[in-house]
């Protein structure tokens, strides 16, 4: 399981309705279905990943998130997930509004660009960071809207979004006291549980 | 070495025999007619006193009678969905690419039922059948049948076959409308619904194409107000024209460029080449002859269709398409129509389909989501236009296979 997924699993209520935006191969939803009995649906645009979802028996809808969630009714899900996809959206702020229209709660995870490794890479090499964690060159990356933990906090405040919980982990999925104290510097993956105020 | 005609026939026969004997073919199949004496009350208010349904089945019904899949045909389809009727049959059933042992609709797992719908002309009661009241063919007196009426007759067939619940109902285009109607009218008799290249109702453009088809038939001097059989003739020109127009709408511009384009122009490369302007004989005739391959193709398709399909049936089928709109009973809110039942849906649309374009399937997805239903939806890149639903396009076929594999797994789990 991806480092952020175990934390997501803890936050999901049993038997709830979950919409996973950019659901990938459906493994997270499959896991939530099995362990929490959730009724899940995923949105995805990659054909191979959609096929994996179908084979796993996960409901998946081929839909580009940049077009919004127009076809979903307000309050039709308990939780809307956006895992490691925020940074690839054309209008991440608009999608977050949409998430909290369609779902009572949202869970957002993203690579924290404020992590010390990114800062060091940029400051010492003067080039956009490329690592195992962010493996793309600047010109062919799907990640067009990087942000930091502090940026996301500011967005939530601006939009009057309630942060129910926030945690950061590293790639090994380990959290620590120091990470809790300095999340924007030490956290590699940020995980937010949010709701409308 | 020149091949003489006998050798050519032998080569063709052996090629055909190997197609029939292929491990993924259902092989030789024999249709069977089921008679129903119970009158069928139709949506129009009329009644069909008794009727026959022509049916083909592939695979075996399991002991629990839980593995049955119903195939619903589109405008010009029939019960012959897979396999061959005889060793000299040159073409297999209309959906042979999807139905057979190991194929997406796997006949080693499922018992597949395909029928000719009422009003058709392939063996089920329709305009060419004898009207018991007059002793003559029904002709134009055959009542207008709707998708709802077809599904009602399919339910009677289901009961006759002793099937309590379809593991899946599957159909494309007009067939997809029957799939929707099943989920609406008989929600507890369907476990899964596969609806390909369909729409919740036709748009004005679609109705317009159907009206052109109908007008070309009814204005043919040989139509005789639908009683052409009594005059030992049929509206050949009208049917041809109807089919030619139909064919243009089933294909996409890019599919036509590729199909009729100079050698080497592939689907992915249709902006190059000659835009599908291949000439029949290499030179222009400077007359009103068939100059281009595309013209020849349309003539051939029209000709073939007009000698195989009954004009009154065609009129009925297009009316069934036009009339389909299940939302009318639910205050025009289709999501209310889908409120009951728990069948899962698989929907697929194709990028170049302009007869039932992706936005119509998206509409249906939105409706189903609003109704709280479980939906999987694929928008498949395909150049073949509406016809894509009949073709073995890998993404589409694999998704259907994956979906039905899970249907089968659940059957097996439920049984154990």
pLDDT by position in tens, chain A (length 197): 666 788 899 999 999 999 999 999 999 999 999 999 999 999 999 999 999 999 999 999 999 999 999 999 999 999 999 998 998 899 999 999 999 999 999 999 998 888 888 888 888 998 888 877 778 888 888 888 889 999 999 999 999 999 999 998 877 767 777 878 888 888 888 999 999 98
CB within 8 Å: A61 and B375? yes
Token pair for residue B104?
A: 């997406």
Nearest to B399 among A51, A57, A71 (CB): A51
**B402 min Cα distance to partner chain A (Å):** 5
Report which DSSP code applies to B95.
T
Chain A CB contacts of B374 below 8 Å = 39, 41, 59
Q: Please state the domain count of chain A.
A: 1
Chain B CB contacts of A57 below 8 Å = 406, 409
- What residue in A sits closest to B347 (Cα-Cα)? A61
**Under DSSP, is residue A167 helix (H, G, I), strand (E, B) or coil?**
strand
B386 is known as an active-site residue:
yes
Cα dihedral angle (B384, B243, B355, B255), rounded to 10 degrees?
20
Is A77 within the bounds of a domain? yes
Exactly one of B173, B252, B306, B349 is catalytic; name it.
B173
What is the rounded distance in angstroms from the CA atom of residue B161 to the CA atom of residue B153? 12
Is A124 within the bounds of a domain? no
CB within 8 Å: B375 and A50? no
Q: Model-level pTM?
A: 0.93
pLDDT digit string (tens) for B24-36? Answer: 999 999 999 999 9
Is A108 within the bounds of a domain? yes
CB A59 within 8 A of CB A43: no
Phi, psi of A32 (to 5 degrees): -65, -35
Is A117 within the bounds of a domain? no
What is the rounded distance in angstroms from the CA atom of residue B396 to the CA atom of residue B378? 8
pLDDT digit string (tens) for B226-261? Answer: 999 999 999 999 999 999 999 999 999 988 988 888
CB A28 within 8 A of CB A8: yes
CATH number at residue A38: 3.40.50.150
Nearest to B369 among A54, A60, A72 (CB): A72
In terms of Cα–Cα distance, which of B356, B319, B328, B338 is closest to B146?
Answer: B319
B361 is known as an active-site residue:
no
Is A119 within the bounds of a domain? no
Is A126 within the bounds of a domain? no
Q: Which domain holds residue A35?
A: 3-112+144-196
Is A184 within the bounds of a domain? yes
What is the rounded distance in angstroms from the CA atom of residue A84 to the CA atom of residue A141? 14
Cβ contacts of residue B232 below 8 Å, gap of 6+? none
What is the rounded distance in angstroms from the CA atom of residue B184 to the CA atom of residue B181? 5
CB B334 within 8 A of CB B365: no
Interface test with A, best of B338, B377, B382, B405 (most A CBs within 10 A): B377
Is A131 within the bounds of a domain? no
- Evaluate the CA torsion angle B202, B205, B208, B210 in order and state its sign: negative
Chain A CB contacts of B376 below 8 Å = 53-54, 59-61
Nearest to A61 among B376, B399, B405 (CB): B376
């Amino acid at each position: 399981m991806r480092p952020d997924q175990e934390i997501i699993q803890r936050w999901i209520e049993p038997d709830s309705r979950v919409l996973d935006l950019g659901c990938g191969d459906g493994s997270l939803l499959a896991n939530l279905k099995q362990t929490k009995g959730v009724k899940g649906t995923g949105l995805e645009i990659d054909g191979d990943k959609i096929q994996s979802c179908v084979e796993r028996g996960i409901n998946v809808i081929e839909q580009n998130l940049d077009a919004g969630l127009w076809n979903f009714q307000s309050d039709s899900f308990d939780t809307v997930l956006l895992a490691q996809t925020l940074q690839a959206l054309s209008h991440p702020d608009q999608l977050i509004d949409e998430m909290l229209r369609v779902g009572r709660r949202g869970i957002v995870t993203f690579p924290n660009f404020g992590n010390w490794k990114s800062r060091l890479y940029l400051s010492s090499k003067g080039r956009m960071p490329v690592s195992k964690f962010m493996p793309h060159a600047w010109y062919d990356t799907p990640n067009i809207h990087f942000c930091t933990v502090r940026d996301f906090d500011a967005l939530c405040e601006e939009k009057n979004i309630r942060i129910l919980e926030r945690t950061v982990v590293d790639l090994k999925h380990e959290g620590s006291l120091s990470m809790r104290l300095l999340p924007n510097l030490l956290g590699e993956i940020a995980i937010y549980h949010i709701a409308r105020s | 070495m020149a091949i003489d005609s006998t050798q050519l026939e032998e080569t063709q026969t052996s090629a055909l025999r190997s197609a029939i004997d292929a491990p993924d073919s259902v092989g030789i199949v024999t249709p069977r007619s089921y008679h129903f004496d119970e009158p069928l009350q139709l949506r129009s208010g009329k009644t069909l006193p008794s009727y026959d349904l022509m049916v083909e089945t592939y695979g075996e019904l399991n002991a629990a009678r839980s593995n049955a899949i119903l195939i619903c045909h589109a405008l010009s389809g029939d019960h012959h969905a897979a396999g061959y009727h005889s060793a000299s049959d040159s073409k297999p059933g209309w959906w042979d690419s999807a139905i057979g042992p190991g194929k997406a609709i796997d006949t080693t797992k499922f018992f597949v039922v395909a029928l000719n719908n009422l009003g058709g002309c392939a063996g089920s009661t329709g305009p060419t059948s004898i009207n018991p009241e007059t002793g003559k063919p029904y002709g134009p007196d055959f009542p207008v049948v709707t998708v709802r009426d077809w599904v009602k007759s399919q339910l009677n067939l289901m009961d006759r076959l002793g099937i309590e619940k379809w593991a899946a109902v599957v159909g494309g285009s007009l067939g997809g409308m029957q799939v929707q109607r099943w989920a609406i009218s008989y929600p507890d008799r369907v476990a899964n619904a596969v609806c390909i290249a369909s729409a919740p109702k036709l748009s004005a453009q679609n109705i317009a194409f159907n009206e052109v088809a109908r007008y070309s038939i009814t204005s043919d001097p040989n139509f005789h107000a639908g009683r052409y059989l009594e005059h030992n003739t049929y509206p050949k020109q009208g049917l041809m024209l109807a089919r030619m127009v139909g064919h243009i709408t089933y294909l996409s511009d890019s599919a036509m460029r590729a199909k009729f384009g100079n050698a080497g122009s592939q689907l992915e490369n249709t902006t190059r080449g000659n835009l599908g302007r291949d000439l029949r004989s290499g030179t222009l005739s400077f007359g009103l002859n068939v100059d281009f391959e595309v013209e020849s193709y349309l003539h051939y398709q029209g000709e073939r269709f007009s000698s195989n399909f009954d004009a009154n049936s065609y009129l009925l089928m297009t009316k069934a398409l036009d009339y389909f709109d299940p939302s009318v009973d639910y205050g025009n809110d289709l999501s209310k129509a889908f409120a009951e039942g728990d069948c899962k849906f698989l929907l697929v649309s194709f990028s170049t389909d302009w007869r039932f374009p992706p936005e119509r399937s998206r509409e249906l997805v939105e409706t189903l989501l609003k109704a709280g239903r479980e939906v999987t939806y694929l928008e498949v890149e395909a150049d073949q236009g509406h016809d894509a639903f009949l073709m073995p396009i890998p993404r589409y076929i694999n998704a259907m296979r994956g979906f039905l594999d899970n249907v089968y797994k659940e059957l097996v789990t439920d049984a154990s």
